[in-house]
Amino acid sequence: MFKSIKSKIFVSHFILIVILLVGLTYKHYHNSIDMYIQNVITFHTNASASIVRTSSLAISGQNYGNIQLPSFVAELSSNSKLVYLQITGRSDISYKEFSAVYTKENTHMYRNIYPEKHEQNLQLKLKRFQSKLNEINIDKVKINFLIARTKDALFEYERNKNLLKTSSMKYKLLLNKESPYIDYDKNLLFLSLKTNNKNSGIVSMVYDISEIINLKKKIIIDLVIESVISLLIAIILLTILANKIIGPLNKLSNFMTNDFRTLNAGKTPSLELSDEIGILSNKFKVLIESMQENQARIEGKAYFDSLTGVYN
């Protein structure tokens, strides 16, 4: 196998090219993915500026209303890639714990922490207001307003409690990772940004980056096409190179198989070449000429007497 120089040259170079190509392709693939991930991280970090601003304000004053405003929730839900968001921190004045969570499934920002006996206090308040409704001198507009507001607060509390129970906990593990973190199995990006209120806080965001699957496919297809084209070009070039080297050697070899006495040294192949093959041809030419001279001398001595010059 591979006895000829031509096949040895071809195969050894071909293997070398394949190794280089695989290495470069692997590197190119990872560079493309890394670059994409960096772009995604930069994009989401920059796009989160307003989220961080609102969150800072909310943590600072322990204001859950700010982050539950429809406009803020709409801002979050308009980012279809944002699947989970958690705001945590401590308020600036009373140093109270603040925590709120948004999930894409529910398209809702819900409060995580309530004061002790929050529900009981609201229930008591509601009962007290409702009992006042029967009083004659009571301002009906004001008392109805307070009843509606308390009912809203109770409804929100109930809803948040239920959402906390049912909301997916699948992103919780990600929150312990160092940001930025990519979960390649689930195609999720975890980003964590500091808020700018006095006591600081954290906005943790989980983004769906499943588009990376299509991107990976596209990169692989592109790389396979590039590799096939490169290999085809390599095969053509290697064939030309092998022929360039082996062709003159074959001609020289065929030339040398003739009886050297009949050879015309001046017609030795590849004499015109200035490379190693040209040098070899010239050496062969000198050899042929030398051998032909020696042959003529020996023959002269064999057929003629050296003193008299007549036939033996």
Partner 1 sequence: MVKLLWMILVTSSLLNANSLSEYIKELKNMVLVKESMIPGKDVVLPKETPLFVQQTVSMYNWINEGKGTKLNIYVPKDKVELYKTHGPYPDGLTAIAIYEDQDIIFVTEHFQGEPIYGTFDREGKDISNSHPSLNVKACIQCHTNYADICINGTCSVPMLDIFNKK
Task: Give yes or no for residue 92 binding partner 1 (CB under 8 A).
Answer: yes
d(Cα 161, Cα 167) in Å, to the nearest integer? 10
The C-alpha angle 15, 16, 17, rounded to 5 degrees, equals 90
Stretch of residues binding partner 1 (CB under 8 A), selected from 26-34, 60-68, 183-191, 289-297: 60-68
Cβ atoms within 10 A of the Cβ of 66, count?
A: 18
Q: Can you tell me the distance from the alpha carbon of 270 to that of 249, in angstroms, rounded to the nearest whole number?
A: 9
180 cis-preceded (ω within 30 degrees of 0) = yes
Instruction: Rule CB under 8 A: say whether 27 interacts with partner 1.
Output: no
Interaction of residue 64 with partner 1, rule CB under 8 A? yes
Stretch that binds partner 1, among 25-33, 42-50, 87-95, 276-284 (CB under 8 A): 87-95
Residues 29 and 182: their CA atoms lie apart, in Å, by 17
Does 30 contact partner 1 by CB under 8 A?
no
Quote the CA–CA distance of 74 and 213 in Å, as a whole number: 28
| Of positions 56, 88, 270, 281, contacts partner 1 by CB under 8 A | 56
Among 28, 118, 132, 161, binds partner 1 (CB under 8 A): 132
CB 76 within 8 A of CB 105: no
Question: How many Cα atoms are found within 13 Å in the side-chain-facing hemisphere of 53?
Answer: 7
97 near partner 1 (CB under 8 A): no
Residue 166 binds to partner 1 (criterion: CB under 8 A): no
Stretch that binds partner 1, among 125-133, 174-182, 243-251, 281-289 (CB under 8 A): 125-133
- Indicate which single residue of 155, 184, 303, 304 sits in contact with partner 1 (rule: CB under 8 A): 155
Residues at the contact surface with partner 1, assessed by CB under 8 A: 56-57, 60-66, 69, 91-94, 96, 125, 128-129, 132, 139, 141-146, 148-149, 151-152, 155, 159, 197-198
